[in-house]
C-alpha cells in the first residue's frame, strides 16, 4: 500500500477522552464504509484487530468493499483511518481515532470525510461527526452554556415538553415548507443564527455557513465577530444577509457598521442585547480557554455594549432606514417596548443558554411575546432547536422563523459547507415528514390547537435530541 502519509494530510482529530466516554456508553461498534468503499487503517500506537484479523502494525491494513467493519483494540491504540482507493476529494482524511486503555475494546465511528457527505442520513450522524472532528475546547465553546447550564437545558426541556396533536385523513400529497421572511421567499422558516469565531469549527468558517444557506435558500445572520469578514462574504452570496452587530463604539461607529453591511449587500441589521455582560461560560473558564471573541482589543470597547439602551434604539431608527432586528428579547414587556420603538423583528433568544443562567426556555416565552407583539412585528426565536418537530412547534406558537445555532455549528464542524447543506436538507426532510404526519401541507395551517403539554421522555441536555449518540460529558 505504500506510505500511508502519501494518501493525504491528517486534519481530523478525535479526542481521546471523548471516545473513551463514548465507549463507556456501550454504543454499537462498527465503522460504516459509505457505498462499499474501502478504508485504510493504520495503527500508529498499540494493536488492533479489523474484522477479527490483526492489523499490521505501523504499515496498516486495507479493507475494501465491505459495508461495515468492526475494529477491536487489543490494548490502548491509536488508529489512522484513510479513504480508499482514491485519495479524498477534499484534503480531508476520514478520521483520526484513538482508543484509551481501560475504556473498553470497541470503537464506533461514522464516516465523516467530505467525500461521504451525501451519506449522512440523520442529524445524529452529523452531530457525531462534529464531535469527532473537534478538540474538546472547540466542542465546549460550541456547545457549552452559562454557569450551571440550566438555561441551556431548559431550552430543550421546553421543546420536549410540548406534544403534537396530529390531524388525520387529510390530503397531504403536496407539502410546501416554504414561506416568506425578511422580504424573501425562503425554503424553510429557518435562519442561520449569528455565531462568532466560526473559524474555530472549520477553516471555511462563516464562508462555509453563508454559502450553504445561500445555496439551500434561507437567510443567514453574520456575526461581526467571526471570520471571514462581511466584505469578503457579502459579494459571494445571492441572498441578502443580516449583519449582527455587537456595539463597540458610539453612534458614528454604528453608522460605519451599517454602511459596511449595506455595501456588502445585507438586507437588515441585528443588535444582540442579551450580552450586556459576557456570560460565565464555565467550560471555557475551567480550561482557562479564551475564544477569539474574548481577546483584549475587543474587551476594551465592551462598555458600549454594557451601556446600550432603548435610547440607542430610538436614535438608530431615526438615523437609519434599514430593517432592524433586536435579538435577545425574553419577556412580553421588552417585546412591547421594542415594537413601540419600531423594531421590525423581535428575536426571542437567550443566546442558546450561553448568557444568563436560570433563564426560561425560549419556547416557553414565545406565547407571551406573540401575544404582546400582536402582529405588529415579525417574530423570530432560537434556543435548542435541533429537529424538524422543534421548528414546527415554534411556528405553531406564532414565530415566523427559527434561528439555528449549535445545529449549524455541528454541520460546519462535521463537514464544512457541505455539512451545513446536508444538515439543512435533513432538517427539511424532518419538517416535511412532521407537517404531513400532522395533516397539514403548509406552515400557515398550523396553530396552537396542534400542540398540548406533554412529559419529556429524557432528561434534557444538549444532545438529548440525538439519543443514539451517548457521549459521556466530561464537563470541561
Ligand atoms: C458558537 C456560538 C457562537 C455564538 N456567537 C454569537 C454571536 O457572535 N452573536 C450573537 O448574537 N449570538 C451568538 N451566538 C448565539 C446564537 O446566535 C443563538 O442565539 C444560539 O446559538 C441559539 O441557540 P442554539 O445554539 O441552541 O440553536 C452564538 C452561539 C454559538 C453556539
Q: Edge-to-edge strand order for the sheet containing 378-381?
A: 190-192, 401-404, 378-381, 345-348, 324-329, 268-272, 242-245, 221-223
> Does 383 contact ligand 1 (Cβ within 6 A)?
yes
More confident residue, 30 or 233: 233
CA 406–ligand 1 middle distance (angstroms) = 7
> Does 359 contact ligand 1 (Cβ within 6 A)?
no
More confident residue, 199 or 65: 199
- What is the SS3 assignment for 305? helix
CATH of domain 150-453: 3.20.20.70
Q: Lowest-confidence range among 8-12, 262-266, 314-318?
A: 8-12
E-strand ranges in 386-441 read 401-404
> Does 382 contact ligand 1 (Cβ within 6 A)?
yes
> Does 409 contact ligand 1 (Cβ within 6 A)?
yes
What is the percent of the chain with per-residue pLDDT over 70, rounded to a whole number?
74
Residue 351 bears catalytic tag? yes
CA 143–ligand 1 middle distance (angstroms) = 10
CA 385–ligand 1 middle distance (angstroms) = 12
Ligand 1 atom 1: residue of nearest CA: 142
Residue 330 C-alpha cell reads as 425574553
> Does 384 contact ligand 1 (Cβ within 6 A)?
yes
More confident residue, 81 or 28: 81
> Does 385 contact ligand 1 (Cβ within 6 A)?
yes
The model carries a pTM of 0.79
Ligand 1 atom 5: residue of nearest CA: 195
CA 193–ligand 1 middle distance (angstroms) = 6
Q: 16-44: per-residue pLDDT in tens?
A: 222 222 222 222 233 434 334 455 666 65
Given this chain, do its domains 4-112 and 150-453 carry the same CATH topology? no
Query: Is a pLDDT exceeding 80 seen at residue 101?
Result: no
Q: 116-143: per-residue pLDDT in tens?
A: 454 688 999 899 888 877 888 889 999 9
Q: Where are the domains of the chain?
A: 4-112, 150-453
- Give the range with max mean pLDDT: 21-30, 55-64, 248-257: 248-257
CATH class of 4-112: mainly beta
Instruction: In whole angstroms, give the CA distance from residue 423 to residue 460.
Output: 22
Ligand 1 atom 10: residue of nearest CA: 194
Instruction: In whole angstroms, give the CA distance from residue 448 to residue 459.
Output: 25
CA 171–ligand 1 middle distance (angstroms) = 38
Q: 279-321: per-residue pLDDT in tens?
A: 999 998 988 888 877 765 566 788 899 999 999 999 999 999 9
Instruction: In whole angstroms, give the CA distance from residue 133 to residue 14.
Output: 6
Amino acid at each position: 500500500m505504500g506510505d500511508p502519509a502519501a494518501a493525504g494530510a491528517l486534519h481530523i482529530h478525535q479526542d481521546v477522552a471523548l471516545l473513551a466516554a463514548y465507549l463507556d456508553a456501550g454504543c454499537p461498534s462498527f465503522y460504516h464504509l459509505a457505498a462499499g468503499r474501502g478504508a485504510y487503517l493504520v495503527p500508529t500506537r498499540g494493536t488492533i484487530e479489523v474484522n477479527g484479523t490483526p492489523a499490521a502494525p505501523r504499515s496498516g491494513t486495507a479493507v475494501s468493499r465491505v459495508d461495515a467493519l468492526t475494529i477491536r483494540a487489543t490494548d490502548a491504540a491509536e488508529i489512522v483511518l484513510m479513504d480508499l482507493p482514491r485519495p479524498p476529494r477534499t484534503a480531508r482524511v476520514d478520521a483520526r481515532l484513538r482508543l484509551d486503555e481501560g475504556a473498553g475494546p470497541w470503537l464506533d465511528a461514522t464516516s465523516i470525510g467530505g467525500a461521504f457527505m451525501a451519506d449522512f442520513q440523520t442529524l445524529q450522524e452529523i452531530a457525531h461527526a462534529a464531535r469527532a472532528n473537534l478538540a474538546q475546547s472547540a466542542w465546549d465553546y460550541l456547545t457549552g452554556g452559562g454557569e450551571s447550564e440550566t438555561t441551556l437545558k431548559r431550552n430543550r426541556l421546553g421543546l420536549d415538553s410540548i406534544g403534537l396533536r396530529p390531524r388525520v385523513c387529510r390530503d397531504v400529497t403536496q407539502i410546501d415548507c416554504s414561506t416568506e421572511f425578511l422580504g424573501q421567499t425562503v425554503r424553510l422558516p429557518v435562519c442561520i443564527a449569528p455565531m462568532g469565531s466560526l473559524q474555530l469549527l472549520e477553516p471555511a468558517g462563516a464562508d462555509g455557513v453563508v454559502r450553504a444557506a445561500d445555496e439551500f435558500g434561507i437567510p443567514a445572520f453574520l456575526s461581526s465577530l467571526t471570520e471571514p469578514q462581511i466584505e469578503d462574504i457579502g459579494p459571494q452570496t445571492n441572498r441578502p444577509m443580516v449583519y449582527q452587530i455587537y456595539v463597540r463604539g458610539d453612534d458614528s461607529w454604528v453608522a460605519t457598521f451599517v454602511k459596511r453591511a449595506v455595501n456588502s449587500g445585507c438586507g437588515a441589521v441585528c443588535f444582540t442585547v442579551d450580552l450586556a455582560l459576557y456570560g460565565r461560560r464555565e467550560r471555557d473558564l475551567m480550561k482557562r480557554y479564551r475564544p477569539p471573541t474574548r481577546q483584549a482589543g475587543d474587551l476594551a470597547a465592551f462598555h458600549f455594549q454594557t451601556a446600550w439602551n432603548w435610547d440607542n434604539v430610538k436614535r438608530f431608527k431615526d438615523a437609519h432606514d434599514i430593517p432592524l432586528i433586536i435579538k435577545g428579547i425574553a419577556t412580553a414587556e421588552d417585546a412591547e417596548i421594542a415594537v413601540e420603538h419600531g423594531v421590525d423583528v423581535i428575536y426571542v433568544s437567550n443566546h442558546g443558554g450561553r448568557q444568563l443562567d436560570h433563564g426560561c426556555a425560549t419556547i416557553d416565552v414565545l406565547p407571551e411575546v406573540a401575544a404582546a407583539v400582536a402582529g405588529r412585528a415579525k417574530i423570530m426565536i432560537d434556543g435548542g432547536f435541533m429537529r424538524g418537530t422543534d421548528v414546527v412547534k415554534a411556528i405553531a406558537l406564532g414565530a415566523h422563523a427559527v434561528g439555528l445555532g449549535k445545529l449549524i455549528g455541528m454541520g460546519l464542524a462535521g463537514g464544512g459547507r457541505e455539512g451545513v447543506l446536508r444538515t439543512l436538507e435533513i432538517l427539511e426532510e424532518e419538517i416535511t415528514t412532521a407537517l404531513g404526519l400532522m395533516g397539514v401541507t403548509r406552515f400557515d395551517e398550523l396553530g396552537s390547537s396542534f400542540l398540548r403539554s406533554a412529559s419529556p421522555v429524557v432528561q434534557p441536555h444538549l444532545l438529548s435530541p440525538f439519543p443514539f449518540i451517548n457521549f459521556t460529558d466530561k464537563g470541561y
